[in-house]
Each structure stands twice: as structure tokens, then as C-alpha cells.
């Protein structure tokens, strides 16, 4: 029959495969899912958010339950009252919907809340408890259930609403954009494969310590970042810093560190919970934590290992000069010059201009010029001419 032949053709079209392929979006999503944090994918209609979730569920072997938030009533998430034999004695339990019961019985799964930005405020309010506490009526979803949502920007959503601040503050916000090569290859039948991050068992303790230290040191220095409710309704519907999202940042940094995740993925994740500005400050604070101790460098300049990144290398050199400034003597001053000379190996000459000038100002009249300063003098001269 014609329909049978059509079914065969549809099966062939649906027959696709996957391949390992670097995909920072997918890696960030998978890491957040592994960290058991609710994720919200933002993207224009038709960009592939739903397809990505379907493929993620298949790859991770998790049953996918899709709930279109915009077509549900608040009671679908808060529960329907069920009157028993004696409400005065037993109360009135709130019965969960069938999809929640199926998830609870399965013990594991991926709950996909689609079209979140078209859900009216009353429904968004009902979703708060589901997203934060995993409760639907009187039912608590098991730990094996992960929550991912998707939303369109208000300008491209049908009858869209801005996300409420309490609900937005419970998600990891990821901007979902299409990758031309991924789309072309996927339409050819091969999509990228998602995989849970491989956590190094030997790094778990250090990862937690690192994450807590990085966040706490930043907030100790910048207390105003602890809680900043955005002034506009649009920004309140995205990522912004609060004690809740800083706690989420600690978890994400710990998972990313234990998994050896790239800086790009880590940047997407931390900015997705505390916002762009605070997130970039946090990344800078984490970078500074990895810098070598200037006292160690002064004690053994010959063994100094300096960062490859130019901004970090210059920060180290400036820290070395500042350490000499705090406790100046001839040996430490000469050791600092040795560190600057070593910084020229594999580094841009302009990085040593400011530290060299500041260090030169610390010289006392009875201190002779240190060995190797001729190289620095030439580098500084070249750098100034280029400027």
C-alpha cells in the first residue's frame, strides 16, 4: 500500500547516527545536567533546542518526558485537590498529574519543560516548587530525574511573557545558537553525540576546595556582587547573582574542574547562573588563583614557570615587583630582574615594560645593575619604538 511505502521512507529519513564531535553548547548542557541543576535553553524558534534535548535523552539513555508549559494550568504543577473520606482528619491531598507519576515510577528521566516563556505568570509561579524542590503536588520526583527547559526570547515568542525573577533565578541559562557545520552534517544523517563528563575521582576533593575558594574570595572582595536584582524586567528574566546562583556556580566550577572542562564551557556555565559581568569577574578571580606565588618565584627565579597567557604573565610580573616593594633588599631585587629576564623567553617584550620601570624605581644607590639587564633594556627599547 502507498502508506506502507511512505512509512518505509519515513523510517529511512529517521535513520540517523551520531559521532563524537566537539560542541561547547552540548558539553555545557551535559555538564549542568550531570551537576543536577535545572537548565534553561534560550534560542529562536526552530533553532534545534527540542532536537538537542531528544538526542541528549537518547544518548544518556534517559526516558524523555515533554511538558508544554504554556498549555497547562497552575494546578497541573501544584496538584489537583482530591477529597478523601474525612478531610478534617486526613486533609486534602494534592494529586500529581500522570506524567509526574510516570517519572516517579521510572525513577529516572529527563523532564523537558518546553515553551517556558509563553507560560503566563500564574503557571510560572506554580513551576517554582517543581524546579527548586522537584515536587509536583504531593509527589517528590526521584533524584534520577533531571530538568531542562526551553524558551524563546519574548520578541519571537507567541504571546510571550518575560520570565519571572524567582523562576529565572533557579536556572542555568544557556544561549542556544545553531552551528552551520553541525546542522549540515546532521541533515546528512550524522549528529554530534552527547556524553556525560568523565569526572576524575582523584580530583573531587580539590575541585570542591577550588570552587569554594574562588567564589568566596571574589565575594569577600566584592560584597555587592552577593545579590544584585536587575532593574529591568527583561534582565530579571535571565541570569543574575544571588546567594542561590552563587551556590550553583560553586557546583558548576567543581564539576567542570573535576571533568577538566575547557575555559569556554566554564565561562558559558558561570555566566549562565550569575550573569555576564559577575561571571567574568569570577573567571578572572579563578585565573588569579592559579598564578604562581611571587615569593616562590623570588626564591628560585631559575625554576620560574610563568603563564602562557599575556595578561596572566603580566599580572605575575607585577605581583613580583610588588612583593619586592613590600620587602626590598638587594637579593630580592636582583631575583626579580631574573624573573623579568625569564619572562622574555616566549613572551612579548611589551609585557615587561611596566614591571621593569617599576622595579627600576626601587633600586638603591649602592646596588649595582643586575646581570641580564641588557636584554631587558633592548626589549623595552624595541617595545617603546613599536608603540
Cell numbers standing for residue 16? 540517523
Task: Check whether residue 269 and residue 339 sit in a common domain.
Answer: no
Quick check: 384 pLDDT over 60? no
For the segment 3-26, the average pLDDT, to the nearest whole number, is 87
- CA 67/CA 101 separation, integer angstroms: 13
Q: Any idea what DSSP says for residue 96?
A: P
Q: Which of 162, 192, 222 is the last residue of a domain?
A: 192
* Residue 240: other Cβ atoms inside 10 A: 22
Q: Any idea what DSSP says for residue 41?
A: E
Domain that holds residue 347: 294-386
Dihedral (Cα; 327, 329, 330, 332), 10-degree rounding: -30
Residue by residue, DSSP assigns 184-227 as HHHHTTEEEPP------GGGHHHHHHHHHHHHHHHHHH-GGGS-
For the segment 375-387, the average pLDDT, to the nearest whole number, is 53
Cell numbers standing for residue 161? 511573557
Task: Check whether residue 26 and residue 106 sit in a common domain.
Answer: yes
Residue 249, exposed/middle/buried by CB under 10 A (0-12, 13-18, 19+)?
Answer: buried
- CA 261/CA 305 separation, integer angstroms: 23
| Mean pLDDT estimate for the chain | 86
Quick check: 85 pLDDT over 90? no
Residue by residue, DSSP assigns 241-259 as --HHHHHHHHHHHHHHHHH
Q: Which of 192, 210, 244 is the last residue of a domain?
A: 192
| Alpha carbon 366 to its chain's center | 53
Task: Check whether residue 29 and residue 116 sit in a common domain.
Answer: yes
Task: Check whether residue 186 and residue 206 sit in a common domain.
Answer: no
* Residue 105: other Cβ atoms inside 10 A: 9
Hey, is 174 helix, strand or coil?
A: strand
| Whether the Cβ atoms of residue 257 and residue 207 lie closer than 8 Å to each other | yes
Residue 380: which pLDDT band, with cuts at 50, 70 and 90? Answer: low
- 89-125 per-position pLDDT tens digit: 566 677 788 889 999 999 999 999 998 888 888 889 8
Task: Check whether residue 215 and residue 355 sit in a common domain.
Answer: no
- CA 301/CA 340 separation, integer angstroms: 9
Task: Check whether residue 299 and residue 256 sit in a common domain.
Answer: no
- CA 265/CA 278 separation, integer angstroms: 16
CATH number, domain of 35, equals: 3.40.50.300
- CA 189/CA 196 separation, integer angstroms: 22
* Residue 325: other Cβ atoms inside 10 A: 15
Cell numbers standing for residue 113? 519543560
Task: Check whether residue 338 and residue 253 sit in a common domain.
Answer: no
Residue 56's pLDDT is 84
Q: How many residues does the chain have?
A: 387
Task: Check whether residue 380 and residue 334 sit in a common domain.
Answer: yes
- Express as a percent the part of the chain with pLDDT over 90: 40
Residue 332: which pLDDT band, with cuts at 50, 70 and 90? Answer: very high
- CA 364/CA 370 separation, integer angstroms: 12
- CA 115/CA 122 separation, integer angstroms: 15
Task: Check whether residue 344 and residue 374 sit in a common domain.
Answer: yes
Lowest mean pLDDT among 16-20, 174-178, 207-211: 16-20
Q: Which of 271, 289, 307 is the last residue of a domain?
A: 289
Quick check: 28 pLDDT over 80? yes
For the segment 34-49, the average pLDDT, to the nearest whole number, is 90
- Number of domains, the chain: 3
| Whether the Cβ atoms of residue 97 and residue 83 lie closer than 8 Å to each other | no
Task: Check whether residue 140 and residue 208 sit in a common domain.
Answer: no
| Whether the Cβ atoms of residue 176 and residue 42 lie closer than 8 Å to each other | yes
Task: Check whether residue 94 and residue 110 sit in a common domain.
Answer: yes
Task: Check whether residue 29 and residue 125 sit in a common domain.
Answer: yes
Residue with the larger pLDDT of the pair 137 and 194: 137
- 290-313 per-position pLDDT tens digit: 788 889 889 988 888 888 888 788
* Distance linking the first and last C-alpha atoms of the chain: 78
Amino acid at each position: 500500500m502507498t502508506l506502507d511505502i511512505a512509512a518505509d521512507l519515513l523510517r529511512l529519513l529517521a535513520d540517523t547516527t551520531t559521532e563524537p564531535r566537539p560542541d561547547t553548547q552540548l558539553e555545557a548542557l551535559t555538564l549542568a545536567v550531570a551537576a543536577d541543576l535545572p537548565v534553561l535553553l534560550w534560542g529562536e524558534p526552530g533553532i534545534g533546542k527540542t532536537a538537542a534535548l531528544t538526542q541528549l535523552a537518547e544518548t544518556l539513555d534517559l526516558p524523555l518526558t515533554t511538558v508544554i508549559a504554556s498549555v497547562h494550568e497552575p494546578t497541573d504543577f501544584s496538584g489537583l485537590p482530591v477529597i478523601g473520606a474525612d478531610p478534617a482528619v486526613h486533609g486534602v491531598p494534592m494529586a500529581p498529574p500522570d506524567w509526574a507519576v510516570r517519572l516517579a515510577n521510572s525513577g529516572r528521566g529527563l523532564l523537558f519543560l518546553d515553551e517556558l516563556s509563553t507560560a503566563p505568570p500564574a503557571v510560572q509561579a506554580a513551576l517554582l516548587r517543581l524546579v527548586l524542590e522537584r515536587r509536583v503536588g504531593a509527589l517528590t520526583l526521584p533524584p534520577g530525574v533531571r530538568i531542562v527547559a526551553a524558551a524563546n526570547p519574548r520578541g519571537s515568542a507567541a504571546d510571550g511573557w518575560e520570565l519571572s525573577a524567582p523562576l529565572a533565578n533557579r536556572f542555568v541559562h544557556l544561549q542556544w545558537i545553531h552551528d552551520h557545520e553541525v546542522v549540515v552534517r546532521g541533515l546528512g544523517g550524522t549528529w554530534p553525540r552527547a556524553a556525560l563528563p568523565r569526572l576524575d575521582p582523584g580530583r573531587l576533593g580539590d575541585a570542591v576546595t577550588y570552587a569554594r575558594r574562588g567564589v568566596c574570595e571574589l565575594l569577600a572582595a566584592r560584597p555587592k556582587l552577593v545579590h544584585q536584582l536587575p532593574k529591568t524586567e527583561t534582565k530579571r528574566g535571565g541570569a543574575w547573582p544571588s546567594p542561590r546562583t552563587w551556590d550553583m556556580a560553586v557546583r558548576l566550577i567543581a564539576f567542570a574542574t573535576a571533568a577538566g572542562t575547557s575555559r569556554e564551557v566554564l565561562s558559558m556555565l558561570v555566566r549562565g547562573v550569575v550573569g555576564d559581568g559577575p561571571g567574568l569577574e569570577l573567571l578572572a578571580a579563578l585565573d588569579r588563583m592559579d598564578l604562581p606565588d611571587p615569593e616562590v618565584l623570588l626564591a628560585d627565579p631559575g625554576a620560574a614557570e610563568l603563564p602562557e597567557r599575556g595578561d596572566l604573565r603580566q599580572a605575575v610580573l607585577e605581583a613580583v615587583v610588588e612583593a619586592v616593594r613590600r620587602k626590598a633588599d638587594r637579593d630580592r631585587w636582583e631575583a626579580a630582574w631574573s624573573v623579568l629576564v625569564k619572562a622574555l623567553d616566549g613572551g612579548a617584550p611589551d609585557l615587561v615594560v611596566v614591571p621593569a620601570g617599576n622595579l627600576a624605581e626601587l633600586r638603591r644607590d649602592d646596588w649595582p645593575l643586575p646581570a641580564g639587564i641588557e636584554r631587558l633594556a633592548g626589549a623595552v627599547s624595541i617595545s617603546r619604538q613599536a608603540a
